Structure 1
Amino acid sequence: METLFRQSCEVIKEAGKALKNSQVPFTRAENKEELMTQFQAANVFSTHLIREGLLTIAPDIPWSDAEFDTTRQKDPALGRMYWVCDAIDGAIHFLQGFSPWCISLVLIADGIPAFSIIYDPVRDELFTAIRGKGAWLNGEKLAVNIRNSIQEAILATAHPNQPQKEKKEASLLLSSLERILPRAGAVRMLGPSSLQLAYVAAGRLDAFWEYGNDVYDWLAGALMVEEAGGKVQSIEGQAFSIETNTGVLAGNEWLVGLLEEELPVEWDIFSCKM
């Protein structure tokens, strides 16, 4: 497994560097249609490099195409082991020529992440985690921060990709910001969810929360937080897994407990609390 892990890191680094050096658009899109065309071209480029690289080192491990299909994400036909990859997380940043953006990769084995990789090509930062063995940034061991007060904490969150369609998630985010923003040390939205979770594992952020069902965006970083001594759960307080479909909350155990009490959940939208 460790040989496969090391080889996978090289595949992701090579893809990230190629993406950075050859695919950032020279001209900015004038509308959403052009932006989508640019994204599709870059995403196909990155996906092809990663898939071909992984096929070379592990031809028997399949690739999940279900990033945007939450039903297929749990398809047992994928088998005991399979790859979960986001070839460009933070695509708007990438297409607009600023950072952060990254590539994330997870090897799922028996329904849980065995190892994960998140690579930021702009900063040349490789975040990694192996279940039961720890998490690292460019080889240095990671540990979550120990701040235990919301007032002192540096927090981060993310908005829905399509707020006009994901109205419930957008409402929950706005409600959570209304509660948390006046009390927190600081709150940021940095873009890619996977990288923000990696920043929690590295102690750069104290906690991260996000509403929605984008579990494929969370798997890589969630393992890193856990392996860095932190806690990851659903917004409602349930154990995090590939079945999580309402939102994610990650940080040190004390801070996660405090935020769980403050963050609104779905039924709060219709309650007098709001």
Structure 2
Amino acid sequence: MDQAIGLLERLGSSARLVAGGHSLLPMMKLRLANFEYLIDINDLHGELGYIRLSDDEVRIGAMTRHRELLESDVLAGVFPIFRDAERVIADPVVRNRGTLGGSLCQADPSEDLSAVCTTLDASCVIRGPGGAERVVTMEEFHVGPYETAVADNEILTEIRLPRKSFKVGSAYAKVERRAGDWAVVSSGAAVWLDAGRIVDARVGLAAVGPNTTGIPEISAALRGHEPSEELYRLAGAIAARSCDPVTDTRGSADYKRHLADELTRRTLRTAVERARS
């Protein structure tokens, strides 16, 4: 890892890391990105490809591949939202090579795992020269479309997901034009229950604005209440008015707001059912 960071420090903005390459290489072919050097970090999988659970958190290495996230029964037992999302990401060829870190660093507003990590209140560990590390929230990590807080001489090394001492359920849903495509709209939800009431809830949307979107207003509206269809309708309405989609080839802005509403209801309903069971 230190060798890779040293190369980045020496080569600066003329270099880019490549792991799976399924986001970077298409952008280069379309001349949307142009780099003089590519630094292949696949050999770092031994250092950065892992899923580790403790009582307080789940830690996932940035080189953990989509297939590993999909197949991990341990991860699905804690946060089934990952398996939900991975089932609708691209195809087996991409899932065998693409990585969690590559997905987050691409910072595409329609990217699935960014919505998942936003939903789960993830923190991102960034390492720079001399072993210096800093930890940022997902809101701080995604600076804008295709732009992150990772500097030219830094590497995203780990994602940390907090675990709370309550019953937890999570779910992910996505509408796409064809299997494995970018989302028209997608929604992730996580709910924590205690004595039948919601002590915390989070919703993350993708493809509805310039960044993957977390909606604090939904969290505030749900806390302290017993789950109900009325509550899901309220959350869906908040989601629809809080997002900022654009009309494009995938659908109109009004259609995307409708999907934000409907998918928020569905994922909250499923998350609550999983928390109860």
Scaled by the length of structure 2, the TM-score of the pair is 0.27
More strand by percentage? 2
